[in-house]
Amino acid sequence: MESTMPVLILAIPLFTFLLLGLLGKFMQRGMAGVIGTSAMGITLVLSYITAFTYFFSGNPLFISAGGDRLQAVIFNTVWLQFTPDQIDAAGQIVKHGLAIKLGFLLDSISAMMLVVITTISFMVHLYSNGYMRDHHGVCEKGFQRFFAYLSLFSFSMLGLVVATNIFQMYIFWELVGASSYLLIGFYYTKPSAVSASKKAFIVTRFADLGFLIGILILSYYTGTFNFTELTSVPVEGLNDVYAVSAGTAEHIRSIFADSKAPLFMGASVMTWALVLIFMGGMGKSAMMPLHIWLPDAMEGPTPVSALIHAATMVVAGVYLVARLFPLFLMQTSALDIVTVVGAVTALYAAMVACAQIDIKRVLAFSTISQIAFMMVSLGVTRIAHTDALGHEVHEGLGYMASMFHLFTHAMFKALLFLGAGALIHAIGSNDYTAMHGLRKYMPVTHWTFLIGCLAIAGIIPFAGFFSKDEILTACFGHSTVWAIWMTLVAGLTAFYMFRLYFLIFWWKEHKVHGEHVPHDQPWTMTLPLIILAAISCVAGFVPFGNLVTWNGHPITGAGFFTNLDNLNWNVAVISLCVAIIGILVAMKMYRKENPLPEKMRSALPRLWDWCHHRFYWDELYMFITHKIIFDRVCKPIAWFDRHVIDGTMDSFATMTNRLSVAIKGLQSGRIQNYVWVYLLGALVLAVVTMLCVL
Amino acid sequence: MESVGSIIAYVVIALSIIIFSVLAVTTRKILRAATYLLFALFATAAIYFSLDYEFLGAVQIAVYAGGIVVLFVFSILLTSHPGDNSARLASKKRVSGLIAAIAMLLVSGYVLISRCIGVAEPAMQSIDMQKVGATLMGTGHGEYLLPFEAISVLLLACIIGGIVVARKR
Amino acid sequence: MEKTMLCYLIPSLIMFCCGVYGFITRKNMIAILISLELMLNSVDINFVVFNRFLFPGSMEGMFFTLFAIAIAAAETALAIAIIINVFRSVKNVDVEEVSKMKF
């Protein structure tokens, strides 16, 4: 495949960023939006062509004769060479030295991510053209800056998913973190936005420390950064084409096992490396206990929340684990950790989401919970075996389910966020208490939001049903406990989403304040909602089992609409029932104004408080950072710094000062004194020299 | 054995150098100091002549005795009233000056006497003026066109500097 | 009696020491300058003497003296210009009165 198009996919957003960032001041605000959106549109088309070529062209670069999807390195440029290549006498390279390369790796997950990122990003660009204006259509201050940041983010995220090596991924990982920081703090005059952006930056940076250490351990033992060398084998007869292979991962494991120090603190070094890398993913994907930044990140403009903090950046952690999945598969203890973290986070976030008032916070916790679903799904994936219900479990079903859910979740969560943005834009408040009964006023928003809720709740035939069902099937295949646990969380999901839906659109009649009647937003904002709603309706039928699997080998038939055939109806019926129960409970409690929620709240005050205050995680962090780290650690260190280190330096300065005051009389300004001293000194030197020489 | 005349001439030159130097730095009248300096410079020129450096002796007389001393005299007349005596020296200052001078004398004298004793005078030969001119204008090894030019530029710079510094604003 | 090199160097040394004494003790800036000229002159003599006695064939010493005389002339002219300027502003040529440059 030619490398022009992949280069353009990365270059266009970068160029747009530079253009809008450097020259945005000189263009009209609306113009910046048009440029940013159309550039993103071109990227969207190019990405679609690339992904389509990858999945459906049947090119032997991308699919083997046996039907396995392959990994194709489109281009790979050496950026930093650490150790030189070893070359034999004939000039052939025997062994590649350690180098950081920048390249473009096209395989099933990166192609899928290209589609997800560009779709959501384009929708958000389009939407922002409407959202970032006031009610009279005047663009906000910093409109160009906003689009520049969006382009930067799109560039970074695309670079992240097509990374050919773990270090390139790390570089772009930090870039998305930086653009996330910039966008959360977009309203930099608002103190809450500033502190939220700082919080996001610091928490994810802390997690990335683990990521970096993990990278270093992994590359120290294996001597490579490249994903293809870590997880795949080259395909015979083709250049730069690889097939994912458990054998390579096995080999990597043996490298760790055969090294001098295979164990560290009771766990294998490879597990440590993978868990540390997963820690980076935990930070980015807001897993417990590093989730605290994501709810606060909602201080950013809502389109940003939709793009970065719901659909794309926060799934980077899932993507990271998926990218290194063959290695994780070799260390099931690492996968167990992923499962436990994911499951606990899923339940926690779902519980908290039930007690939030700010609609964006509800969606934020819902995002955390859904990403945790994906993590759990990855964590329960094992080699083929028979599950507890007696069914043959497909090899890598959970992996496929996770990617499937990533895809569908991106669509419907972006839809929900954009819908929430439309509501916020119309009402001017984030709290549902200011909304209530909006269904008559904003019909388009109402219907699309409902579709989003149905999709996330997992109602057939919307997208979420299929992916969630696959995840639960995978959980049943691994462990009944986790399966039941996750089914309960799925029920909670349905409950809190419909609680939100009913509280926004039903509950009681909307009180119209004065002239200002809420209404649907301009087409730039409703069109993305409609498109995303349409995608959410049909995305479930995309045959992921055929397209995206961990080793490229399809686990379903070759046809297109195969998802219905392959449903595990036992699991599907259970999850559907649970979801419907959740929806019915929500309907009972919140459809009409009634005292039931208040009663429940007073019946379980402790639970409500804990959920409402997010189980006091922020307070815990505050306690740890302020009371323990700042007071107990930093203050003594600061004292030491101020009095001992600075004191030493200050005393040097003081001594020098005193000495100079003491001897400044020597510089009397009387040249004759100088001459006298100089002459006698020269004579003394002469005498000494003579005594030595003679 | 040299002729008595040359020995007498030498003794006169050496004595006048010593005496006029001492007088130049000890007299309390500044104009007299300049005059004693003039005599010391003349004696130096005489040394140059006696060593057969006629050109150098001529330069010494023309530039030093003729030029610099006149400058001194003018500046003295500009800055002090004739007949003024300078104040008596503080004894501390005199002692320190004597210490420095005598230490210098002892150390250098010791070195000179221990090292330079017994270097006899070679046969005198006066230097051809043409050779002096050629050497000053040549660019080869041991020839001095570049310093010559540098000195001339320096002199020009000094003239300008002197005018700039001393002119009335 | 033979005139050795020492016969010329000793008067030159005495001249130099007089220069040193004068430089250190005199207050009048012009007198200091005169002392300086004495020292320079003694150095010139040394150049010439060494040239004559030790390297009779070459002319380096002579030319150094020549250049030294020229530079001394330049230096004196400039120094006197400065002194006159100082005299204009403080009505004095006493070196101890001109101490604004210290510290």
C90 touching B (Cβ < 8 Å): no
- What is residue A386's predicted lDDT score, i.e. its pLDDT? 59
A670 touching C (Cβ < 8 Å): yes
Burial A304-323 (b: 16+ CB within 10 A, else e): bbbbbbbbbbbbbbbbbbbb
* Contact state of C34 with B72 under an 8 Å Cβ cutoff: yes
Whether C35 is covered by a domain: the verdict is yes
- What is residue A655's predicted lDDT score, i.e. its pLDDT? 95
Whether C83 is covered by a domain: the verdict is yes
Enumerate the residues of chain A whose CB falls inside 8 A of the CB of residue C95. 670-672
Number of domains within chain C: 1
Whether C42 is covered by a domain: the verdict is yes
* Contact state of B56 with C34 under an 8 Å Cβ cutoff: no
Distance separating alpha carbons of residues A211 and A278, to the nearest angstrom:
7
Which residue of chain A has the CA closest to B111?
Answer: A690
Please classify residue A121 by burial: count the beta carbons closer than 10 Å to its beta carbon, then call 0-12 exposed, 13-18 middle and 19+ buried: buried
Chain B closest CA to C103's CA: distance in Å? 22
C18 touching B (Cβ < 8 Å): yes
Q: Could you say which residues from 66 to 85 on chain C have a Cβ atom under 8 Å away from some Cβ of chain B?
A: 66-67, 69-78, 80-85
Extract the tokens encoding B75: 């500046």
- What is residue A213's predicted lDDT score, i.e. its pLDDT? 92
Please classify residue A25 by burial: count the beta carbons closer than 10 Å to its beta carbon, then call 0-12 exposed, 13-18 middle and 19+ buried: exposed
Q: Is the pLDDT of residue B83 over 90?
A: no
* Contact state of C23 with A675 under an 8 Å Cβ cutoff: yes
pLDDT digits (tens, 9 = 90+) for A528-555: 888 889 988 888 888 877 788 887 777 7
Q: Is the pLDDT of residue B19 over 90?
A: yes
Q: Please count the other Cβ atoms lying within 10 Å of the Cβ belonging to residue B114.
A: 10
Chain A closest CA to B100's CA: distance in Å? 7
Distance separating alpha carbons of residues A565 and B50, to the nearest angstrom:
128
Helix (H, G, I), strand (E, B) or coil at A406: helix
Extract the tokens encoding A134: 């006031």
Whether C96 is covered by a domain: the verdict is no
Distance separating alpha carbons of residues A424 and A431, to the nearest angstrom:
9
Stretches where chain A sits below pLDDT 70 are 1, 384-395, 512-516, 556-567, 694
Whole-complex ipTM? 0.89
CATH of the domain at C26: 1.10.287.3510
Helix (H, G, I), strand (E, B) or coil at B117: coil
Residue B105: band (very low, low, confident or very high) from pLDDT cuts 50, 70, 90: very high
Enumerate the residues of chain C whose CB falls inside 8 A of the CB of residue A670. 95-96, 99, 102
- What is residue A85's predicted lDDT score, i.e. its pLDDT? 77
* CA–CA distances in Å: residue A398 to residues A250, A394, A573: 20, 9, 19
Helix (H, G, I), strand (E, B) or coil at B125: coil
A624 touching C (Cβ < 8 Å): no
Extract the tokens encoding A64: 């083997």
pLDDT digits (tens, 9 = 90+) for B108-154: 998 888 877 777 777 777 778 888 888 888 888 878 888 889 989 98
Q: Is the pLDDT of residue C101 over 60?
A: no
- Hey, of A672, A678, A685, A691, which one would you mutate to test binding to chain B, going by the most B CBs within 10 A of its CB? A672
A29-56 vs A143-161: helix axis angle to the nearest 10?
Answer: 20
- What is residue A48's predicted lDDT score, i.e. its pLDDT? 92
Q: What is the mean pLDDT of residues B38-43?
A: 93
Nearest to C37 among B37, B94, B136 (CB): B37
Distance separating alpha carbons of residues A393 and A509, to the nearest angstrom:
50
Strands A267-268 vs A385-386: parallel, antiparallel or unpaired: unpaired
* CA–CA distances in Å: residue B30 to residues A109, A271, C98: 101, 96, 19
pTM beyond cutoff 0.80: no
Task: Give residue C51's domain range.
Answer: 10-90
pLDDT digits (tens, 9 = 90+) for C60-74: 888 889 999 988 988
Enumerate the residues of chain B whose CB falls inside 8 A of the CB of residue C46. none
Whether C39 is covered by a domain: the verdict is yes
- What is residue A72's predicted lDDT score, i.e. its pLDDT? 86
- What is residue A387's predicted lDDT score, i.e. its pLDDT? 56
* CA–CA distances in Å: residue C102 to residues A553, B75, C23, C96: 89, 26, 19, 11
Enumerate the residues of chain C whose CB falls inside 8 A of the CB of residue B64. 37, 41, 69, 72-73
Strands A93-95 vs A267-268: parallel, antiparallel or unpaired: unpaired
Whether C1 is covered by a domain: the verdict is no
A1, A28 contact by CB (below 8 A) = no
* Contact state of C24 with A670 under an 8 Å Cβ cutoff: no
Whether C77 is covered by a domain: the verdict is yes
* Contact state of B107 with A676 under an 8 Å Cβ cutoff: no
Burial A538-576 (b: 16+ CB within 10 A, else e): ebbebbbbbbbbbbbbbbbeeeeebbeebbbeebbebbb
Distance separating alpha carbons of residues A548 and A562, to the nearest angstrom:
14
Q: A75 φ, ψ to 5°?
A: -150, 160
Chain C closest CA to A692's CA: distance in Å? 24
